[in-house]
């Protein structure tokens, strides 16, 4: 039987995703990841580098999953945000990973920040090309307005999953599914109103 490097990388990625989601960067242990992935620690270092680089690879991988759901369609932004809301619900680990990153980041820049920033720039440029902030005085202003709009949309979705205890208290809803359904409808409607006013 030959060694399957791609399968090993995939197992390491999945084990690391679970470990970082549960324990964050500081609490995660390479030894636990290796055991869960049925790989040795040397393979982890070979394929991903150190623990911080592995954490960054996990976050970038999750971001890629979102990007493969399709681009943010400015002409159907409410529907696109509804799909994004559903994706976050199916992948609660993503918000948790972002929260861990925010809490534990010891440097001014997150791991892989330049690459991730580039992806968001591409999204903002696509929004500008589709006519977002068309009434802004110049290209730089249009890009800034699109970036603000994108961040607002992401916040409208992510906050619902970032603070489930606050969602439960504010909505006074004991049924989590019902609360998320209410929030999805409210977010989609808010985005529809925002999009109509752009």
pTM, rounded to two decimals: 0.83
For position 40, what pLDDT does the model report?
92
Query: Would you say residue 107 lies in a domain?
Result: yes
* Domain match, 22 and 71 both: no
* Domain match, 148 and 71 both: yes
CA distance 10 to 29: 18
pLDDT band per the 50, 70, 90 thresholds, residue 175: very high
Domain that holds residue 78: 59-196
Residue 162 has pLDDT above 90, yes or no: yes
* Domain match, 125 and 155 both: yes
* Domain match, 45 and 133 both: no
For position 132, what pLDDT does the model report?
81
**pLDDT single digits (tens) 185-197:** 999 999 888 877 7
CA distance 85 to 153: 10
For position 194, what pLDDT does the model report?
81
Mean pLDDT of 175-183: 94
Query: Would you say residue 54 lies in a domain?
Result: no
CATH classification of the domain holding 181: 1.10.357
Q: In sequence order, what DSSP letters do the residues of 119-151 get, joined into one string?
A: HHHHHHHHHHHTTTTTTSSSHHHHHHHHHHHHH
Report the SS3 class of residue 40.
Answer: coil
* Domain match, 77 and 17 both: no
CATH classification of the domain holding 31: 1.10.10.60
**pLDDT single digits (tens) 104-158:** 876 667 777 888 888 889 888 888 888 888 889 999 999 999 899 889 999 999 9
Query: Would you say residue 73 lies in a domain?
Result: yes
State how many domains the chain has: 2
CA distance 183 to 58: 28
**pLDDT single digits (tens) 49-105:** 999 999 989 998 888 887 666 556 666 888 888 999 999 999 989 999 999 998 887
């Amino acid at each position: 039987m030959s060694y399957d490097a791609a399968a090993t990388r995939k197992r390491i990625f999945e084990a690391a995703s679970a470990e970082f989601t549960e324990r964050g960067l500081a609490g995660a242990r390479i030894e636990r990841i290796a055991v869960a992935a049925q790989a040795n620690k040397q393979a982890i270092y070979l394929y991903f580098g150190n623990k911080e680089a592995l954490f960054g690879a996990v976050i970038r991988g999750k971001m890629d999953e979102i990007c493969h759901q399709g681009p943010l369609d400015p002409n159907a932004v409410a529907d696109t945000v509804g799909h994004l809301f559903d994706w976050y619900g199916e992948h609660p680990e993503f918000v948790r990973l972002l929260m861990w990153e925010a809490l534990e980041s010891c440097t001014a820049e997150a791991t892989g920040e330049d690459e991730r920033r580039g992806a968001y720039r591409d999204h903002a440029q696509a929004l500008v090309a589709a006519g977002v902030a068309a009434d802004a005085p110049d290209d730089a202003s249009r890009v800034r307005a699109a970036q603000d709009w994108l961040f607002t949309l992401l916040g409208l979705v992510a906050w619902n999953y970032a603070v489930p205890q606050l969602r439960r208290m504010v909505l006074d809803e004991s049924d989590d599914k019902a609360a998320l359904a209410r929030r999805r409808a409210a977010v989609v409607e808010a985005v529809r109103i925002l999009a109509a006013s752009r």
